[in-house]
Structure formats: structure tokens, C-alpha cells
């Protein structure tokens, strides 16, 4: 009996120890790189910036922030001219043989605002379609799949949706297709098209359920499979070019500037969907421009958020220093590429936000700020304190 009681006591002691360890683990600080130095302005020190920060920044602002700061020898500004795609080459790459391919013309009488160099085609047998564009080309293997297009996935990869796509991706390769094979398929198309992609791909393995979650509402409108979302960035001086597009309103015109990137969804059935942005020929404009610090940017953005959303709490979820295309008129063939801090934020009306429940910001209002990295001036804003551009 004593031996039995002794065993029970040992078991209880072990359980108490395990519970205590579990509670201690849950009570560990949730801040990450909270005391990191963020006021570097010398490019030689930029490698000291952390790549992630999690902390409460002030009484209104939280950081769950990916930090993307390149480390070139210097930053420059450029004049960049859009490359016009070779329509015949693109058709040859995506539709060898050109069987069942017809031009997809807009309905008679409709007014479609697009450059006259843009062309669209579809396969009347398979339902696949392609848009050959100097600014936003795309290819869909079927018009009846529920991925919703790679752009929605890209938004989650580059900060326009929260949480980031990395939170959904698996660390393991998928059973249906290897990571190597998926990359090989996209590499082959990039090479055939002669696209100037020079950054290694970012690859996200998405099992079926995670693929559905990232696809969101689109997943209910067609068939999807597990697969890989792959992003290729482009760079200049080892500085990534903005991997999205932006728009500003000038009187009645919507003036858009397009970055440079390729994104694709690949499954066991091959390339399902493909998006890209613009590609440029560049000419040096100004060398070795100065760059403001991330600390200056965060101070400015947090103050702006407090002014724009007085009754809300805000999250800064991504800050990237990159080359940014600035267009002066609609469908401008020539843009300026300059260093810009791109900052993604979410704001929500809630009093019980803490570092332990930041997921609430996933339903918040997204605002992306573009800040001239040489002056600190806001280039394009999306909040209620909109400044003249």
C-alpha cells in the first residue's frame, strides 16, 4: 500500500511539474526584438536591422512587423521605361501550336480603359485564358478554378492582408508534387519569356485546407488542390523593386504605377495561374541618395494612424525599403524608380487589443503608406488625412 501511495505521489508531482512548465511557457514574454536599434541611416549598417519585430509601440499602435531592408552599397534613383511584351512569343510559350486560340475581344460598345498594346486570348476548348500586357500580364489554365488568382495570394505575401501567407504555409513538401518540380515549371516559363527575374523564389507549400483558407471566398467557386504559391522578385542594385501596383487619383484619371514580380500557383496538374507586373529598362538618374531610418518612419506612421483613426487601435505588420515606380500620367511608359519605405497597417475599433490577440486585426481596415525614403514625405496615402500627392 505504501509503495502504491508512493507511486501515486510521484505521479502527482510529475503532473504538477509538467503543468508548471506549461504555464511558464505560456507566460513567456511575447515581445520579439523589442529593444532593437532602428535609427540606422548609414547603408553600411542596414544589415543590423532585425527582420521581425513584435511589440506594443505606443498606447495605440502594435507591431507584428516583417522588416525587409536590403543591404546594397548605395541607393540610387532611375528613369525606367516599360518593356512592351512580344505577343507572338507569349502565345508560343503558353500555347504552343496555337490550337483553339482566339482573341478575347471586349463586348461590342463597351469602353475598356487599357493600353492599345494589351491583348487577351482564350482557348475555346480548355477555357484557359491569357492577358498579354506591359503592366499586368496573367494566365489562367482554367476559368473554373477557385484560387481567385495569384494576386490575392501575393497580397497576403506582401503585407496587404493579415496574417501573412507564411502563417498558412507548411514546412514540409507536398505529397502530390515536389517543391523542386514546381519551381522548375515556373523557371522554364520565365526563361522562355526572357524576363529579368534575378531574385531567388519565395515558395509557400499550401496543403489543401490552407490553400482553401488563403483563397478565401474564391475557394467556393471552383475546384482547387494543394499546391505551391511561388513569388519571384526583381531587383536593381540588389534592391528589390516594389512587388505590387499602386494607384493615385488625379482629377478624373486613375494613375497606376506597377512594380516588378512574377507570382504563380502550381499543383500536380501543372501551372494553374500566373500573374506578373511590369519589366523595365533603366537609366541612372541620381547616385548615392540618403535614406531615412526605420525609426523615423515608424514614428511618423504611428502619429499619422493616431490622427486618422482616433477611436481605433492600429497594427503595423510590414515595412519594406524598396525601389518604387512613380508614374506621372495614366499608362505612362516612363516612370521614376526611387527608394521608398512601404508600410502596411491595419486599424480596428477595439479596447481589448493586446499582443496576445493581434489576430483581431485580420478584420481591420488596411492602409498602405508610401514614404519617400530620401525626404520622409508621403507620396501616396490611403487614409482620411489624405495629403496632396
Is the pLDDT at 216 greater than 70? The verdict is: yes
Is the pLDDT at 297 greater than 90? The verdict is: yes
- Measured from the Cβ of residue 265, the count of other Cβ atoms closer than 10 Å reads 30
- Measured from the Cβ of residue 132, the count of other Cβ atoms closer than 10 Å reads 21
Q: What is the mean pLDDT of residues 287-308?
A: 97
- Give the span between the Cα atoms of 46 and 69, in whole angstroms: 7
Residue with the bigger pLDDT between 332 and 273: it is: 273
- Which pLDDT band holds residue 383 (cuts at 50, 70, 90)? low
Coil vs helix vs strand at 232:
strand
Is the pLDDT at 12 greater than 70? The verdict is: no
Q: What is the reported pLDDT for 272?
A: 97
Q: What is the reported pLDDT for 99?
A: 87
Is the pLDDT at 149 greater than 70? The verdict is: yes
- Give the span between the Cα atoms of 382 and 160, in whole angstroms: 13
Backbone phi, psi, residue 223, to 5°: -90, 135
Contact by Cβ (8 Å): 156, 244? no
Rounded to whole angstroms, what are the CA distances from 352 to 227, 269, 347? 37, 46, 13
Rounded to whole angstroms, what are the CA distances from 371 to 168, 273, 298, 364, 381? 29, 32, 11, 22, 9
Q: What is the mean pLDDT of residues 174-190?
A: 98
Q: What is the reported pLDDT for 251?
A: 55
Rounded to whole angstroms, what are the CA distances from 329 to 245, 252, 256, 336, 389? 14, 11, 8, 12, 13
- Give the span between the Cα atoms of 338 and 324, in whole angstroms: 5
Q: What is the reported pLDDT for 30?
A: 86
Q: What is the reported pLDDT for 104?
A: 87
Which percentage of the chain shows pLDDT scores above 90? 76
Is the pLDDT at 238 greater than 80? The verdict is: yes
Is the pLDDT at 10 greater than 90? The verdict is: no
Q: What is the reported pLDDT for 248?
A: 78
Contact by Cβ (8 Å): 364, 346? yes
Q: What is the reported pLDDT for 187?
A: 98
Is the pLDDT at 9 greater than 50? The verdict is: no
Picking from 142, 263, 286, the residue whose alpha carbon sits closest to that of residue 197 is 263
Residue with the bigger pLDDT between 4 and 53: it is: 53
Q: What is the reported pLDDT for 370?
A: 95
| Among the ranges given (97-106, 157-166, 264-273, 293-302), the one the predictor scored with the smallest mean pLDDT | 97-106
Mean pLDDT of the chain: 88
- Which pLDDT band holds residue 4 (cuts at 50, 70, 90)? very low
Q: What is the reported pLDDT for 221?
A: 83
Amino acid at each position: 500500500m505504501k509503495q502504491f501511495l508512493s507511486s501515486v505521489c510521484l505521479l502527482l508531482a510529475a503532473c504538477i511539474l509538467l503543468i508548471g512548465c506549461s504555464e511558464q511557457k505560456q507566460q513567456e514574454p511575447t515581445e520579439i526584438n523589442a529593444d532593437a536599434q532602428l535609427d540606422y541611416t548609414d547603408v553600411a549598417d542596414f544589415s543590423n536591422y532585425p527582420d521581425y519585430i513584435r511589440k506594443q509601440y505606443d498606447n495605440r499602435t502594435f507591431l507584428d512587423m516583417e522588416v525587409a531592408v536590403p543591404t546594397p552599397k548605395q541607393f540610387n534613383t532611375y528613369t525606367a521605361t516599360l518593356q512592351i511584351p512580344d505577343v507572338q512569343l507569349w502565345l508560343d510559350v503558353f500555347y504552343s501550336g496555337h490550337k483553339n486560340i482566339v482573341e478575347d475581344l471586349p463586348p461590342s460598345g463597351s469602353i475598356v480603359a487599357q493600353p492599345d498594346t494589351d491583348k487577351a486570348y482564350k482557348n475555346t476548348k480548355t477555357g484557359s485564358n491569357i492577358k498579354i500586357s506591359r503592366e499586368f500580364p496573367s494566365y489562367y489554365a482554367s476559368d473554373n478554378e477557385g484560387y481567385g488568382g495569384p494576386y490575392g495570394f501575393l497580397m497576403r505575401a506582401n503585407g496587404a492582408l493579415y496574417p501573412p501567407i507564411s502563417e498558412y504555409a507548411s514546412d514540409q513538401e507536398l505529397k502530390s508534387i515536389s517543391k523542386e518540380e514546381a519551381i522548375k515549371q515556373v523557371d522554364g516559363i520565365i526563361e522562355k519569356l526572357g524576363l529579368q527575374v534575378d531574385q531567388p523564389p519565395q515558395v509557400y507549400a499550401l496543403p489543401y485546407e490552407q490553400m482553401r483558407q488563403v483563397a478565401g471566398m474564391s475557394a467556393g467557386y471552383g475546384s482547387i488542390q494543394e499546391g505551391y504559391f511561388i513569388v519571384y522578385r526583381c531587383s536593381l542594385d540588389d534592391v528589390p523593386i516594389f512587388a505590387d501596383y499602386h494607384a493615385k487619383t488625379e482629377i478624373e484619371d486613375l494613375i497606376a504605377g506597377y512594380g516588378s514580380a512574377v507570382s504563380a500557383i502550381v499543383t500536380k496538374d501543372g501551372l494553374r495561374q500566373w500573374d506578373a507586373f511590369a519589366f523595365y529598362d533603366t537609366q541612372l538618374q541620381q547616385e548615392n541618395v540618403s535614406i531615412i531610418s526605420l525609426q523615423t518612419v515608424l514614428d511618423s506612421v504611428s502619429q499619422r494612424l493616431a490622427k486618422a483613426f482616433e477611436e481605433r487601435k492600429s497594427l503595423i505588420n510590414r515595412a519594406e525599403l524598396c525601389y518604387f515606380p512613380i508614374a506621372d500620367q495614366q499608362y505612362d511608359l516612363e516612370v521614376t524608380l526611387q527608394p521608398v519605405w512601404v508600410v502596411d497597417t491595419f486599424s480596428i475599433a477595439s479596447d481589448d487589443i493586446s499582443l496576445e490577440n493581434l489576430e483581431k486585426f485580420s478584420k481591420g481596415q488596411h492602409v498602405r503608406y508610401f514614404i519617400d525614403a530620401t525626404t520622409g514625405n508621403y507620396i501616396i496615402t490611403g487614409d482620411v488625412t489624405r495629403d496632396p500627392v
